[in-house]
Structure 1
Amino acid sequence: MTSDFELFEVREPEAQSIPFVYNSPHSGRRYPVSFLEQSQLDGISIRRSEDHFVDELFSAAPRMGAPLLMAHFPRAYVDVNREPYELDPRMFSESLPSYANSQSPRVVGGLGTIPRIVAENMEIYGRRITLAEAMERIDRCYKPYHVCLRRLIARTHARFGFGVLIDCHSMPGNIRVAGSGVRPDFIVGDRYGTSASAELSHAALQFLEELGFNAVRNKPYAGGFITEHYGRPARGLHALQIEVNRSLYIDEASLQKRPDFDALAGSISIFMEQMAAFVEDYAGETALAAE
């Protein structure tokens, strides 16, 4: 792949003053022309998998003293919140290598590392693509992105003795919690307690609820590959996935921002400040140790 745009970006604070790394892996909205030419979807449909403007909702991170990593390439092109080789054999003109994971639930659902569909179950491609193209996307986008994310987390952990990764996402407005019919405004995912301490998760839920939002934990989104892979509470590395309901801030048909977009971004900034203060108060204490 050749590209005329930066594939991803780190927005750094003047000096990192809090042990947080913010990550927006799915808000990329710069689509390579060659990819659009391959796709059978129109310009709006191809964007249905985006975490629309999530990078902007969490853009206060550098001002607060934390780096913000964000992809510019779109999730429909390559998804960095997957294992590196979750590949769907139905998509390719050649056989997959033996190390590919072709049986994961995400692959079966069409949402592997190289997605087959966008979120509303619409097929991206009208014909099979080459395996070489998939590998090129993984080599040029996926691998460097994770190298960058690992460095940010390692740097933070070395500087502060622990670190908190906030993986920032959005979800469709029609999402409901199974068995209750509740429509959450936010979902805090910690891989069912394995990627972050319970105290950190509970604090996030409490702060969001105090801001007037309906917040739930792990249902229906508990966190993806990034949360699972980087969250190591026993080593002082905590990872939370935050899902924001898109209907709060965009028109989901036109993908345009709603008038109250800035108000939501302001509330999220308050939430980020509260999380930073909470971690500062409890740094080094057993409250943030693995249970």
Structure 2
Amino acid sequence: MQPVEVFQGDGPVVLGVPHAGTYVPPEIWSDLNEVGQKLADTDWHVDQLYSDLLPGATMVKANFHRYVIDANRDPEGVSLYPGQNTTTLCPTTDFDGRPIYLDGSEPDPEEIEKRRLAWHAPYHAALKAELDRVYAKHGIAILYDCHSIRSVVPYLFKGTLPDFNTGTNGGATCAPTIEKAVVDLTSKAEGYSSILNGRFKGGWTTRHYGQPARGFHAIQMELAQSTHLVSEDTPFAYDEVKAGRLRVHLKEILSALADLAPALVQHSKNSEGANHG
């Protein structure tokens, strides 16, 4: 199994899909307990949800499951949300705080490094290569990081999660116009709830690649799985009707980001000209 799949487009938007993969190597699978083997914390069908929504979009998808290693965590193991419950680079618990490994089978530092090199590093090498390619072509790269999670996870957050959870790390990872465009569209989406920089402010991917001063913009979208699954439990089936309704809004969001790119490039050129004047 290849760690990552890349579907190249010629536009300015790159879709990151770090958590939709379900592959677990046999030697890791045999160490997982019944809870772990359920793979409940997958971002179910997110690649399908975003497929073919934006002509020219590039998609970079991790094929491995987040229980192998989490492609949206700092490779140094630094917590994204200090002081809050979260899962680690190589998770040992699920989103409900339950152990996912058989007793004594949790990965040690040597195993974690082995997994980082085999899975995490190739995903990010591919993602960086695509962002650099897109930037070279357009003078800008917009990373839209695609995620989903169960709408009720008491271990991670209180109550029910809004449907659209936009994350920009407090506005640090993208131009204000990008943040505003997404927030305006999610807030106007009839029948859906939304929030900006709530429980999910953007993971390591968004924070690492989002460098708007250099022309690299990143934004994370965490969707409540109730928006596109039949049920947020086994077998986590895709709901064509729900998903079809949601895809209308996701298409609007991605199209808005692509439409913003030329103006952002021009603004950057104007700013550089003023600085050198």
2:121 pairs with 1:125 = no
- 8 Å CA contact 2:163–2:223 kept in 1: the answer is yes
Residues 236-272 of structure 1: CA distance to partner in whole angstroms, max 9, x if unpaired? Answer: 1110001111011111122112242233234322321
- Residue 271 of structure 1 is matched in structure 2 by 253
- Residue 257 of structure 1 is matched in structure 2 by 238
2:185 pairs with 1:207 = yes
Out of 43, 51, 56, the position equivalent to 1:59 is: 51
- 8 Å CA contact 2:139–2:215 kept in 1: the answer is yes
Q: State the distance in 1 between where 2:264 and 2:76 align.
A: 38
- 8 Å CA contact 2:206–2:218 kept in 1: the answer is yes
What letter corresponds to residue 270 of structure 1 in structure 2? E
2:71 pairs with 1:80 = yes
Out of 113, 118, 125, the position equivalent to 1:147 is: 125
Following TM superposition, by how much is the alpha carbon of 1:149 offset from its aligned partner in structure 2, in angstroms?
0.9
Runs (4+) of structure 1 exceeding 4 A deviation are 103-110
Compute the RMSD of aligned alpha carbons: 2.7
Out of 15, 26, 29, the position equivalent to 1:22 is: 15
Residues 40-91 of structure 1: CA distance to partner in whole angstroms, max 9, x if unpaired? Answer: 1247x63222111111111125x511210001100111011111131xxxxx
What letter corresponds to residue 253 of structure 2 in structure 1? F
Q: State the distance in 2 between where 1:206 and 1:200 align.
A: 10
Following TM superposition, by how much is the alpha carbon of 1:108 offset from its aligned partner in structure 2, in angstroms?
8.3
Out of 227, 231, 236, the position equivalent to 2:210 is: 231
Shifted more, 166-175 versus 275-284: the winner is 275-284
Out of 114, 138, 143, the position equivalent to 1:160 is: 138
- 8 Å CA contact 2:4–2:126 kept in 1: the answer is no
Change in CA separation of 1:68 and 1:246 when aligned onto 2, cut-off 3 Å: same
Following TM superposition, by how much is the alpha carbon of 1:163 offset from its aligned partner in structure 2, in angstroms?
1.3
Q: State the distance in 2 between where 1:206 and 1:24 align.
A: 23
Change in CA separation of 1:23 and 1:104 when aligned onto 2, cut-off 3 Å: closer
Following TM superposition, by how much is the alpha carbon of 1:104 offset from its aligned partner in structure 2, in angstroms?
6.9
Q: State the distance in 1 between where 2:80 and 2:56 align.
A: 37
Q: State the distance in 2 between where 1:41 and 1:73 align.
A: 19
Residues 99-151 of structure 1: CA distance to partner in whole angstroms, max 9, x if unpaired? Answer: xx5x7757984622111112121211121434332222111101111111111
Percent identity at matched positions? 25
Unaligned runs of 5+ in 1: 87-100
TM, length-normalised to structure 2: 0.85
